Chains A and B, each alone.
Chain A
Amino acid sequence: MNDTARHTRQGGPSARRIWLRNGAIWLALMALFGISLGSAYLDVGDASPILRLGIAIVQVVILWGLFMDLRRSSWLVRLCAVTGVFWLIFMFSLTFGDYLTRNWNGSGTSLAPYATRNGAGERGAYPQDRLPLAPQYGPRE
């Protein structure tokens, strides 16, 4: 259950505490932003997208955990929050499963020599032009 404690004006945090407590988190987020921006100009090579996205993910975790109060939320709310993320993982992995394997061209199977598309197979053209036709179709013209 969401334990939003019902502070009264007397018993609860003062305005100053609210500003300071959240200001510290704000500083952390701005610092990470600064690092991300600065590192964009450094030549870190291939690690660059990982670094930038990694920093973004850390910022998001801080934002979700502290500003969106997931740290104090019920397990149900947290489940809701991660479900969207999980579904994105499903979408990305299966979609990239297509795109990253498009050039494989039957490698690892017996059809590799007949692979087409990028002409990777040494037989070159589409298999049905090279393999013999089934008997009922007679000789190839």
Chain B
Amino acid sequence: MSDAARILHDPPWPSVPRQREAATFGMWVFLASEALFFGALIAGYAVYRVLYPHDFAIASQQTNILYGSINTGLLITSSFTMTVAVQASEARMRRLLIFALVLTAAIGIAFIAVKMLEYKDDLDKHLLPGAHFALPSAATRLFFGLYWVMTGVHAIHLAVGCLLTLALAWAIASRHEVSDSSKVSPIALYWHFVDTIWIILYALIYLPGRP
């Protein structure tokens, strides 16, 4: 069954291609703001890393690289499946699109599950800055203060991404949206951006101080 009859452009758009172009462009503008949002956080991290390199290296060693690496693998894979979804949408392959979107969201949920395990592990190791903090030197608390904020904010963004992806999958499955909907591209861009942030956070949080 074709979706042709349902292709309507919403006001104020004069045409569907224009609307699609604008949706993509608008999401890129928003991603510029998100880059600054995370960038401010990473700038704070970078300043303290430069001021306290030794303490930050010690603190990095305490992060759980197994969980972190699993999560990186998961997110890269989710970007793969999300791109499949985008190209399926362009080719109007409805079933592939829905499958890829659901798979992407599932991987995202798996990421969050692993993250929860990791947080539990961190709490067991007393890595929450406070009275019983595990490490002796002061600046390691800065590292972990930033760690909880950085990974927490990222996880919230990812959760929002999962919700949007599932909502889109449902809308397409129930035919509220056409398969080449103008909403696919922006949601995919957002997803890839969240993955980008994770790739950078991974390199900054988990990898230093290992050998």
Q: Which residues of A line the B interface, CB within 8 A?
A: 1-2, 4-9, 12-13, 15, 18-19, 21-23, 25-26, 29-30, 33, 36-37, 40-43, 48-49, 52-53, 55-56, 59-60, 63-64, 66-69, 73-74, 76-77, 80-81, 83-85, 87-88, 91-92, 95-96, 99-100
Secondary structure call for the A interface: helix
183-209 of chain B: CB within 8 A of chain A: 185, 188-189, 192-193, 195-196, 199-200, 202-204, 206-208
Minimum CB distance partner of B32 in chain A: A84
Question: How many angstroms from the CA of A2 to the CA of B189 in the assembled complex?
Answer: 14
Instruction: State how many residues of chain B have any CB contact under 8 Å with chain A.
Output: 56
Q: Which of B25, B90, B93, B96 contacts A4 (CB 8 A)?
A: B90
Contact A8/B92 with A33-B73, A36-B207 known, Cβ cut-off 8 Å: yes
User: Which chain A positions have C-beta within 8 A of B21?
Assistant: 1-2, 74
A45 to chain B, nearest CB (A): 10
Question: How many angstroms from the CA of A67 to the CA of B188 in the assembled complex?
Answer: 9
Known contacts A69-B86, A96-B50, A100-B50; 18 additional CB pairs below 8 A are A5-B90, A9-B91, A15-B88, A15-B93, A22-B80, A26-B77, A33-B69, A52-B208, A67-B79, A68-B189, A68-B192, A74-B21, A80-B25, A84-B34, A84-B36, A88-B35, A99-B50, A99-B51
User: Which chain B positions have C-beta within 8 A of A64?
Assistant: 192, 196
